[in-house]
Amino acid sequence: MSSGGENDHFYSFDEGDSSSIELYESQNTSEFTIHGLVFPKLTSVTSQESEFDINEDEDGVDTIYDGMLDTPITKNSKRILCEGSVPNLNYECLTTKGIFERMLQRVDHLQPVFAIPSADILILLQHYDWNEERLLEVWTEKMDNLLVELGLSITANVKKDNDHNSHFREVEFKNDFTCIICCDNKNTETFALECGHEYCISCYRHYIKDKLHEGNIISCMDCPLALKNDDIDKVMGHPSSSKLMDSSIKSFVQKHNRNYKWCPFADCKSIVHLRDTSSLPEYTRLHYSPFVKCNSFHRFCFNCGFEVHAPADCKITSAWVKKARKESENLNWVLSHTKECPKCSVNIEKNGGCNHMVCSSCKYEFCWICEGPWAPHGKNFFQCTMYKNTEDSKSKNAEDANKTLKKYAFYYRLFNEHEVSAKLDWNLGQTVGTKVHALQERMGISWIDGQFLSESLKVLNEGRTVLKWSFAVAFYSDASHNLTKIFVDNQMLLATAVEFLSELLQIKNPEVIMKRRPEFYNKAGYVENRTIALMECGRELLCKGICKVVE
Amino acid sequence: MASLPKRIIKETEKLVSDPVPGITAEPHDDNLRYFQVTIEGPEQSPYEDGIFELELYLPDDYPMEAPKVRFLTKIYHPNIDRLGRICLDVLKTNWSPALQIRTVLLSIQALLASPNPNDPLANDVAEDWIKNEVGAKAKAREWTKLYAKKKPE
């Protein structure tokens, strides 16, 4: 497999893998056909229904992601790809409140079966972790005994020690009441269930408050008789039972973590429910990852709970993250956030998304990643993303460890650079919203026509994410293999494309933006193509075992 | 120190005026939430004839929170570990503010009478208990002789 010139992408494949050759062909042609043209794919995206659901005023940031990372590329999609396809994931995004409301509906549904009050069914379900089938099973077996067990009915032999005409389950005011919990004697409000165990309201409140976060059934302090949601709200004086239900649903989600996953993003309270997990092994086998998106547009991997990490699979991701955690202490101080200008040595902090740096003091143009001059970057290849395997494979063993560390440091640095860039892109996103507004106001452009900016930003984000994780794949790949070389070429192409697009998005003047609008379409379309190509190429590396975690 | 809640004062008075047979609990002079406790080993158990020392502490949130109890005397028991910590439902999940110091101590005494190796805290002891109950009981008896105070005849 040593044939093929440096710029030749059409490496031959052993197994006559025609589909993947087609893939590379189609990319290369698309590279040429899109010049000067409005790329049709992008406009079709903007006309999808979901685009109209979003609120225009949402911080001015358009956070719609219905992009390529959510659904795996299958044979049905427009592009022809290498072997294997996986079924789409059938999932929904919920909140604890949403799940609870659904449970309430189930209670209404079950009411005729049980023929007991709905509030009681709720308690039964709560006890059985909202598992209807198990509850029904036990119910047919035990019936009345179950009600006694869970404190829903009082047995005949439990003596009602206070048979004064108390109003059970109502807060009452009493003079000179002695509470056996606090032992205080006072004029106070009290509460009791039918068991007659009566306590002062402050002890009851304290008791309930401590139990709300546990999510279990709250019973009388002295017997198993259960407090229903109404009772809890009465005692607390405000609707507190919702908190108990919330805790109960949370523990339900925790216990059903095969189908339900919390969105891992900070402060996001969404739960993603995968209705059918049977396709997950297929995803793993074909080195796809089951990426899902919560209602707040956070995308994550349902399998490992990590952020979107294509083209790496979960195994590579976890190995990489583990390694990063282990090595980062050594490396972090090296990879400080400032760099010296290669020419005049003034300290530079990068505060924009693009890696094309212009030194503010000497005007020297250089690449932030390789610190080399910028000039050769723009045109063809992004040489700095290629790891130069300088030494021959002769003196292996002794320097192997050192080399691995060096190789790792190299890729980790790239990974890190793109992570930082992605964060800066996020800031860029904040300004894109204002730019769209400016376009609307100053140029009289309609909202839908201004969407190419946020579309481009979305494409840029996805491109960067894929690029970032591709370095993890590159690190674990056999560098001598031809496919790895193709992969690295693909990385360079995407890196170049991403830089172009990032640079375009830096433009502030609305007139210039509108004038260069076709360029936005071109570059974004190109980045999109390159992103998919890199993802597929990475997956092929994984499928063929060229990229694997070596213990 | 914040004033002692009425509930604790009442319970302490009751423990002194109406002690539980085989159990003593005295509050510490410097800290009235800290009790020195002794429990006599129940008859017909490997712990009979021994007097076991424990410490009991009433946390700030008592009676909403369970008292903290720990064995000070070394004991061979599947639900009590080397540090004297006790695995007992009423001290954890089944605690209720309606329970008291005396009920907790009675539960501990009952635990000595009927160990539960199926819900162990000291795994090695529990295993021994399940595999070789006679031997384990003999060892518990031996430890009682070695470490617990002797019950006066």
Q: Cβ A181–B96 below 8 Å, yes or no?
A: no
Contact A318, A338 (CB under 8 A): no
A-chain residue closest to B94, CA distance: A221
Nearest CA among A527, A453, A519 for reference residue A61: A453
Residue B23: beta bridge partners? B39
At residue A544, the pLDDT reads 86
Of A133-137, A217-221, A438-442, the least confident: A438-442
A247: Cβ contacts below 8 Å, ≥ 6 apart: A212, A213, A214, A215
pLDDT at A5 over 80: no
Q: Would you call A44 helix, strand, or coil by DSSP?
A: helix
Contact B35, B28 (CB under 8 A): yes
Contact A128, A138 (CB under 8 A): yes
CA atoms within 13 A on the CB side of A263: 21
Q: Strands, DSSP E only, in A198-301?
A: 198-200, 260-262, 271-274, 291-293, 299-301
At residue A69, the pLDDT reads 58
Rounded to the nearest 5°, which phi and psi values hold at A407? -65, -45
pLDDT at B75 over 90: yes
At residue A37, the pLDDT reads 36
User: Residue B64: which of A180, A184, A210 has the nearest Cβ?
Assistant: A210
Q: What is the pLDDT of residues A111-134, one digit of tens each?
A: 888 888 899 999 999 999 888 889
ipTM over 0.90: no
A-chain residue closest to B6, CA distance: A183
Window 156-195 of A: residues touching B by CB (8 A cutoff) are: 180-184
Number of A to B CB contacts under 8 A, please give it: 28
Q: What is the pLDDT of residues B1-38, one digit of tens each?
A: 567 899 999 999 999 899 999 999 999 998 999 999 99
Residues in A closer than 8 angstroms to B92, CB to CB, are none
Q: Cβ A197–B98 below 8 Å, yes or no?
A: yes
Q: Cβ B6–A197 below 8 Å, yes or no?
A: no
Q: Cβ A181–B10 below 8 Å, yes or no?
A: no
* Number of Cβ within a 10 Å radius of residue A143: 11
Q: How many helices (H) and strands (E) does chain A have?
A: 17, 12
The answer, for A211 touching chain B at a CB cutoff of 8 Å, is: no
What is the pLDDT confidence band of residue A257, given thresholds at 50, 70 and 90?
Answer: confident
CA distances from A337 to A351, A365, A488 (A): 10, 18, 25
The residue of B64, B65, B90 whose CB has the most chain A CBs within 10 angstroms, and thus the best one to mutate to test that interface, is: B64
Residue A238, burial from CB neighbour count under 10 angstroms (0-12, 13-18, 19+): exposed
Find the farthest-apart pair of alpha carbons in chain B and give their distance in angstroms, rounded.
Answer: 51
What is the distance between the alpha carbons of residues B107 and B2, in angstroms, rounded to a whole number?
A: 30
Residue with tokens 């589909």: A19
Q: Cβ A221–B96 below 8 Å, yes or no?
A: yes
Catalytic (active-site) positions of A: 354
Q: Cβ A222–B98 below 8 Å, yes or no?
A: yes
Tokens representing A190? Answer: 């009290």
Q: Cβ B5–A183 below 8 Å, yes or no?
A: yes
Residue A92: beta bridge partners? A273
The answer, for A206 touching chain B at a CB cutoff of 8 Å, is: yes
Tokens representing A496? Answer: 């170049």
The residue of B3, B10, B96 whose CB has the most chain A CBs within 10 angstroms, and thus the best one to mutate to test that interface, is: B96
B-chain residue closest to A210, CA distance: B64
Contact A172, A191 (CB under 8 A): yes
Nearest CA among B58, B86, B84 for reference residue B2: B58
pLDDT at A93 over 70: yes
Query: How far does CA B35 lie from the centroid of its chain?
Result: 12
What is the DSSP code (8-state) at residue B41? P
Residue that wins the pLDDT comparison between A400 and A229: A229
At residue A399, the pLDDT reads 53
Catalytic (active-site) positions of B: 87
Tokens representing B144? Answer: 């009682």
Tokens representing A186? Answer: 């006072």
DSSP for A15-63, written as a single string: T--HHHHHHHHHHHHHHHHTTTS--HHHHHHHTSGGGGTS-TTSTT---
Window 212-231 of A: residues touching B by CB (8 A cutoff) are: 221-222
CA distances from A389 to A405, A433, B101 (A): 13, 43, 73
At residue A42, the pLDDT reads 35
Q: Which amino acid is at A351?
A: N
Cβ-based interface (< 8 Å): residues of B facing A: 5-7, 9-10, 61, 63-65, 96-98
Q: Cβ A181–B98 below 8 Å, yes or no?
A: yes
Residue A168, burial from CB neighbour count under 10 angstroms (0-12, 13-18, 19+): middle
The terminus-to-terminus CA distance of chain A in angstroms comes to: 27
- A159 to chain B nearest CA, in Å? 17
What is the rounded average pLDDT for all residues in chain A?
A: 76
Residues in A closer than 8 angstroms to B66, CB to CB, are none
Residue that wins the pLDDT comparison between A460 and A360: A460
At residue A166, the pLDDT reads 57
CA atoms within 13 A on the CB side of A385: 33
Give the best-scoring range by mean pLDDT among A34-38, A475-479, A494-498, B139-143.
B139-143
DSSP for A289-346, written as a single string: --EEE-TT--EEETTT-PBP-TTS-HHHHHHHHHHHHHHHHHHHTTT-SEEE-TTT--
Q: Cβ B10–A221 below 8 Å, yes or no?
A: no
A-chain residue closest to B5, CA distance: A182
Total count of residues recorded for chain B:
153
Q: Would you call A236 helix, strand, or coil by DSSP?
A: helix
At residue A62, the pLDDT reads 39
Tokens representing B56? Answer: 């009991």
Q: Would you call A347 helix, strand, or coil by DSSP?
A: strand
Tokens representing A129? Answer: 């972790």
Pairing of the two strands B23-27 and A356-358: unpaired
Q: What is the pLDDT of residues A191-232, one digit of tens each?
A: 999 888 999 999 999 999 999 988 899 999 998 899 999 999
What is the pLDDT confidence band of residue A415, given thresholds at 50, 70 and 90?
Answer: confident
What is the rounded average pLDDT for all residues in chain B?
A: 91
